[in-house]
Amino acid sequence: MLTYFKLAWRNIWRNRRRTFITVSAIIFAVIVAVFMQSMNRGSHEMILDNMVRFSTGYVQLQDYRYEDESSLDNSFYYDDSVRERVLEADQNIDMILPRIETFMLAANDAATRGSILLGIDPEKEHRFNELKNRLTDGRFFDKDDSAVMLGAGLAERLHLTVGDTLVLMGRGRFGMSASGLYEIVGLLEFPLRDLNNQVVLMPLPEAQFLLSADGHITSLLIAPHQERHTGSVARSLNEKFADDELAAYTWDELLPELLELFEFDLAVPNLLTVVLYIVIGFGFFGTILTMTMERLREFGVLLSVGMKRGKLALVVFLETLFISVIGVLTGVVVSWLIIYYFHRNPIELTGDAAQAVIDMGWDPVLPMSFAADQFYTQGFFVFTVAMIVFLFPLVKIVTLNILEAARS
């Protein structure tokens, strides 16, 4: 067997130019396929990351009725004992963030806008999503403050700024009236447009007091040590709180519409990838066809002197295997280096394109995904295409007429 490996290795370097052309085509195919996949997944990962960090969390514990009726009446009591039970449920839990959320009217002396009041623990929020880095004006409130911070978009719509007074009006728990005047101490720029245009942040104790919901929260966001533990943490929590009328949901269960949108958005890129594979396959086929026709006389001579077709086919198969492996591995390494650079240094958009992306609530960059599976997945697909095309010389050997090949 070692002899066949040596023969195959020497054969592929007999015509270096042809080998380099074929290997270069495979490398190019892998790089293009990985780059397209990385760009498509990068934007989706950025959106999902923002949604998870600022909206749903990886896992969310809430009253089982709250998913169908997002009302303060379906909040639940949260204290240190509940916190300890959550931490005991699964060893993969890293942090927990209590929140209370409801709809309220936000107003100045002349205008009113619908808003989302979000009561938070400021230090825990910053640890989870670096919220303080989103501050554009003013200061970040403390846990015991009786003040609010606004999304920059909402502040602009109400013509308010730091130091102004915000009027909040709404309904508290069990239909009780909830209204108050609060000083605006800071403005924040959120990466999600809906949050930026609607959110009012308030320290959790003050929000509970305003809404007559002392000790109650509407959701408990839970972050695992590793994202891959999300599902197991949710299952552990559901088992732990099965008798407490509480349910744990993962982010994908809370955002099904977003996942469907991503699947629809990937339809065109996936089609383009298939077209790319087809074009690459025909390119490979042209190269292999030329290589095979050039070697028909060689194949005929080898068969005429007694070499068995199976052994000749094995040598040619090993040649194609070497070329494919060299091309794919080199392509994966080169694409890894390219993607790593753009992952650390995202492409920044400028001009109208940047403004359009900002208006949609995203950062004006083209993020690149650095997920490991895209490298070996795309490499495997290109390798499969190459191996299918390289079956042509094997079929040719099996059906080769020795006399015709010797005269060619």
| Structure tokens, 106 | 């936000």
Residues 152 and 16 in one domain: no
254 falls within a domain? no
**Separation of alpha carbons 80 and 21, rounded Å:** 67
Q: Looking at the predicted structure, is the pLDDT value of residue 360 above 60?
A: no
Is residue 96 located within the same domain as residue 122?
yes
Please name which of 192, 123, 167 lies closest in space to residue 363, comparing C-alpha atoms.
192
Q: How far apart are the first and last CA of the chain?
A: 30
- For residue 190, give the nearest of 135, 137, 147 by alpha carbon: 135
Whether residues 328 and 397 share a domain: the answer is yes
The tens digit of pLDDT for each residue in 287-311 reads 777 777 777 787 777 777 777 877 8
**146 within some domain:** yes
pLDDT tens digits, residue range 113-170? 999 999 999 999 999 888 888 899 999 999 889 999 999 989 999 999 999 999 999 9
- Checking if the pLDDT of 358 tops 70, the result is no
In a domain, residue 92? The reply is yes
Same domain? For 138 and 273 the reply is no
In the block, tokens 């720029």 appear at 189
- Kindly state the helix (H) or strand (E) to which residue 77 belongs, with its residue range: strand 76-77
Hunting for tokens 């009786």 — which residue is that? 146
Q: Which of 219, 244, 269 is the last residue of a domain?
A: 244
Please give the pLDDT value at position 41: 80
For the segment 219-252, what is each residue's pLDDT rounded down to a tens digit?
A: 999 989 888 889 899 999 999 998 888 999 998 8
Supply the DSSP symbol for 362. S
Number of H helices and number of E strands within the chain?
17, 14
Do 81 and 209 reside in the same domain of the chain? yes
With a cut of 60, say whether residue 361 has pLDDT above it: no
Structural domain of 306: 2-50+261-407
Residues 287 and 321 in one domain: yes
Q: Same structural domain for residues 239 and 139?
A: yes
Structural domains in the chain (count): 2
Same domain, 45 and 192: no
Cα distance between residue 366 and residue 341, in whole Å: 13
Proportion of the chain above pLDDT 70, given as a percent: 95
- The chain-wide mean pLDDT, for the chain, equals 84
171 & 275 share domain: no
Judgement on whether residues 269 and 400 belong to the same structural domain of the protein: yes
Is 253 domain-assigned? no
Given a cut of 90, whether residue 401 has pLDDT beyond it is: no
Residue at a domain's end among 217, 244, 271: 244
Closest listed residue to residue 329, CA positions, set 10, 27, 38: 27
Q: Picking from 178-187, 193-202, 368-377, which range would have the lowest pLDDT averaged per residue?
A: 368-377
In a domain? residue 22: yes
Average the pLDDT over 68-89 and give the result: 90
Indicate whether 297 and 391 sit together in one domain: yes
Residues 221 and 122 both lie in one domain: yes
Percent of the chain at pLDDT exceeding 90: 30
Whether residue 56 lies inside any domain: the answer is no
Task: Report the distance separating Cα 6 and Cα 315, nearest Å.
Answer: 9
